[in-house]
């Protein structure tokens, strides 16, 4: 398989009452993380879980620990994913709590703007850093530097990287809705 994809599972799920969000069952009845892995595999990606939450061991996918830095958040996971690849093959980052992302949107991320340092959609003026593709040779050194500086925001990381925007339709924007709180599951 060509592109390595990381499904980000490292968050504590505090807004969900400590639940491992990726194990919640989506509209299709599958745990979100299983659905995401199947989608990524269907578009030719090899999949790893980014973060070492013990609840995900039962899923049976390899787990990649975040770069160790207290409070590094998703940037620590992204730096780990960027550093774990082979050479400069692109990597895809996907949050575990997006139950509506389609294979078509993932294919677009893989195929469009092949030379971009990063390719990500924007929704409501903000980058979607965990539904994005990154080129390790462009992003890894910057990610490490920002970690060392404590500049952990992924929005600023994508801006500093000179990310390319993936234009999306209204339907694709809806695919990017995530589950951050119980109200998101049952609106």
- DSSP string for residues in 115-177: T-SEEE-EETTEE-TTEEEE-HHHHHHHHHHHHHHT---HHHHHHHHTPEE----HHHHHHT-
Mean pLDDT confidence for 2-23: 73
pLDDT at residue 19 tops 80? no
Mean pLDDT of the chain: 88
pLDDT at 70 (0 to 100): 67
List, for residues 91-100, the tens digit of each pLDDT value. 999 999 999 9
pLDDT at 12 (0 to 100): 52
d(CA 52, CA 119): 26
The count of domains in the chain is 1
Q: What is the CATH number of the domain that holds 135?
A: 3.90.550.10
pLDDT at residue 147 tops 60? yes
Between 68 and 140, the higher pLDDT residue? 140
Contact at 8 Å (CB) between 44 and 92? no
List, for residues 110-127, the tens digit of each pLDDT value. 999 999 999 999 998 999
List, for residues 32-55, the tens digit of each pLDDT value. 999 999 999 999 999 999 987 888
pLDDT at 73 (0 to 100): 85
Q: Domain range spanning residue 79?
A: 4-185
């Amino acid at each position: 398989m060509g592109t390595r994809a990381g499904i980000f599972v490292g968050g504590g799920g505090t807004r969900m009452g400590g639940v491992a969000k990726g194990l919640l069952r989506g509209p299709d009845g599958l745990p979100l993380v299983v659905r995401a892995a199947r989608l990524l595999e269907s578009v030719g990606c090899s999949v790893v879980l980014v973060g070492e939450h013990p609840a995900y061991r039962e899923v049976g996918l390899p787990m990649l620990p975040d770069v160790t830095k207290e409070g590094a958040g998703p940037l620590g996971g992204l730096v780990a994913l960027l550093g774990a690849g082979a050479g400069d093959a692109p990597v895809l980052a996907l949050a575990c709590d997006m139950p509506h992302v389609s294979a078509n949107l993932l294919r677009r991320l893989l195929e469009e703007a092949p030379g971009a340092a990063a390719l990500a959609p924007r929704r409501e003026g903000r980058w979607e850093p965990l539904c994005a593709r990154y080129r390790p040779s462009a992003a890894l050194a910057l990610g490490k530097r920002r970690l060392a500086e404590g500049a952990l925001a992924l929005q600023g990381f994508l801006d500093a990287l000179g990310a390319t925007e993936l234009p999306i339709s209204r339907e694709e924007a809806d695919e990017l809705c995530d589950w951050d709180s119980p109200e998101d599951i049952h609106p």
